[in-house]
Amino acid sequence: MKLTSLTKILLWLLPNLFFFADTAYSRQGQSKNKPNIVIIYTDDLGFGDISANGATKISTPNIDRIAAEGLRFTNAHATSATCTPSRFSLLTGKYAWRKSGTGIAPGDAALIIPTDKESMPGMLKRAGYKTAAIGKWHLGLGPKGGPDWNGDIKPGPLEIGFDYTFIMPATADRVPCVYLENHRIVDLDPADPILVSYQNKVGKEPTGKENPELLTMNTSDGHNGTIINGVSRIGWMTGGNKARWIDQEMVNVFTNRATNFIEENKDKPFFLYFATHEIHVPRIPNSRFLGKSGMGVRGDAILELDWSVGEVLKILDKLKIADNTILIFTSDNGPVIDDGYADKAAELLNGHTPSSMMRGGKYSAFDAGTRVPFIVKWPAKVKGGKISDALFSQVDLYSSIAALTKQKINDDNAPDSFNCLNTLLGGKKNRDYVIEQSLKSTLGIIIGDWKYIEPSDGPRMNIGTNTELGNNPKPQLYNLKYDIGEKNNLAETYPKKVRALSQKLQQVKEA
């Protein structure tokens, strides 16, 4: 059959039209398979801490805007009820409980993420992304034995695939209280070197233990090492005076770095891992937010976080790249009210419920430990204003993002991460179970409506934080559909269910 000239022209035009469309996209640093990726990873923010999830005593308009323009999950989980293991799992696609030494890291821990495997930033770098980690790190730095704080601090985030980093090494309640830009402490005067110890006091500076009268905030539990900026921290440090952060300024410092990174890379596909300090302790908000929530500093820190999120949204809008940027907003673990500083968070709570209807909180095997806020906004692909009750685990972000960017993952990497891109973008459910890890690694599993927590001899309460840990020497089984507060242990009534869930958990453990 002979083709008419018109058909020939049409046949030529069709594929080339797609080509032209794609290059137009790429010129904006974006293509269908390479949207910009921003993960806003908040710290200790509870499911019920944002008005998008039903909070009425606090208003989070910027976070709510992500929900209004995106997809809000009600059953998405961090892998763990504490920070270091959740971050480890998110970036490596591997359950932290498979690897020893992945619990809450001291501030002088060596890098926990292996450099001989490809973690999420490495995979995205391979995909042609410009990658950055800004904010809290808390995954260790340096070789075995810890980092050389006065020299090149490596290996660290740069060695696992981040092109640029501006981080705090661990948490704001742990020394050293300094920022790191790439391999170096920012503004470190070589004439005033830094010394850090988690074993014993170093230097002559006052500590919370010896000089509580110097504190602006008493410690209710622990945190009685070196006093920095009126607040005593975990661990001891001396030196590095010029390099020390000012807590009240931290939100500005990190947010500026994050928005600058976006601006500088607007023409390339970029991946920004923006791990906020908010709302972890010590809660020392900027004066713009101090006293503004009517709920004490914990509420003020939520407002501060919301502002910071708003700045990210604003710059994406201003640069006209919001449409093809996939923005994921979530938290590393559930909420805690008193986490070791007498900051009146409990007294001033004013009826606010950070755990929403869930039981427990940070550290806990109950659901509030890991069921966290999780919202995805990608205007080009994801319908706004929708809610998903699908199970989702942060461990799946690695494989889902690899699928999105069309990257292969070899067998050595991301062993626990499933491609759940469909779920992530509001399509069909990909995952039928989720594993949760509590403070001392009691594991739980959710399959459908059912949740099983393995027996544990661990303490029932975390005394300092007044959190129910969910440990019980007997197996626990809850039906989350009817009992989201995990009040009625049905293990004795449904032994077959217990067997089915515990066997699945065992199978995953042995995989």
Binding site for Ca ion (CB under 5 A): 43-44, 83, 332-333
Q: How far is the CB of 332 from Ca ion (least distance, A)?
A: 4
Query: Does 454 engage in binding with ligand NG6 (CB under 6 A)?
Result: no
Report the C-alpha gap between 33 and 403 in whole angstroms.
9
Q: Give me the DSSP letters along 458-508.
A: S-SEETTTTEE----SS-EEEETTT-TT-----TTT-HHHHHHHHHHHHHH
Query: Does 304 engage in binding with ligand NG6 (CB under 6 A)?
Result: no
Instruction: Give the type of residue at 484.
Output: I
Task: Answer whether 135's CB lies under 8 Å from 162's CB.
Answer: no
Element containing residue 66 per DSSP (H, E): helix 61-68
Q: How far is the CB of 14 from ligand NG6 (least distance, A)?
A: 53
The mark string for 348-377 relative to ligand NG6 (x by CB under 6 A, - otherwise) is: ------------------------------
Element containing residue 479 per DSSP (H, E): strand 476-479
Task: Answer whether 275's CB lies under 8 Å from 394's CB.
Answer: no
* Residue of 35, 41, 43, 471 that binds ligand NG6 (CB under 6 A): 43
Q: Of the ranges 204-212, 220-228, 247-255, 346-354, which one interacts with ligand NG6 (CB under 6 A)? A: 220-228
**Residue 137's Cα: distance from chain center in Å?**
10
Dihedral sign of CA atoms 259, 115, 104, 84 in order = positive
For the record, the structure tokens of 257 come out as 């770095």
* Residue of 42, 44, 95, 130 that binds ligand NG6 (CB under 6 A): 44
Tell the residue number behind the tokens 């209807």, with chain if given: 357
Query: Does 193 engage in binding with ligand NG6 (CB under 6 A)?
Result: no
Nearer to ligand NG6, 363 or 392 (CB): 363
Nearer to Ca ion, 44 or 64 (CB): 44
Q: What is the Cβ-side half-sphere exposure of residue 268, based on CA atoms within 13 angstroms?
A: 15
Query: Does 340 engage in binding with ligand NG6 (CB under 6 A)?
Result: yes
For 63-78, give one letter per residue: b (16+ CB within 10 A) or e. bbbbbebbbbbbbbbb
Identify what 436 binds: ligand NG6, Ca ion, none; CB under 5 to 8 Å per kind: none
Query: Does 171 engage in binding with ligand NG6 (CB under 6 A)?
Result: yes
Nearer to ligand NG6, 131 or 276 (CB): 276
Query: Does 298 engage in binding with ligand NG6 (CB under 6 A)?
Result: no
Query: Does 283 engage in binding with ligand NG6 (CB under 6 A)?
Result: no
For the record, the structure tokens of 349 come out as 């709570």
Least Cα distance to 245 among 205, 302, 274, 284 occurs for 284
* Cβ atoms < 10 Å from Cβ of 9: 11
The mark string for 54-93 relative to ligand NG6 (x by CB under 6 A, - otherwise) is: ----------------------------xx----------
Task: Answer whether 469's CB lies under 8 Å from 438's CB.
Answer: yes
Q: Of the ranges 1-9, 48-56, 216-224, 405-413, which one interacts with ligand NG6 (CB under 6 A)? A: 216-224
Q: How far is the CB of 138 from Ca ion (least distance, A)?
A: 8
Q: Of the ranges 2-10, 193-201, 218-226, 401-409, which one interacts with ligand NG6 (CB under 6 A)? A: 218-226
For the record, the structure tokens of 355 come out as 């755990």
Q: How far is the CB of 486 from Ca ion (least distance, A)?
A: 21
Q: Dihedral (C-alpha) 359, 352, 254, 43: value to the nearest 10 degrees?
A: -10
- By rule CB under 6 A, what count of residues binds ligand NG6? 18
Applying CB under 6 A, the residues found at the interface with ligand NG6 are 43-44, 82-83, 104, 138, 171, 173, 221-223, 234, 280-281, 333, 339-340, 464
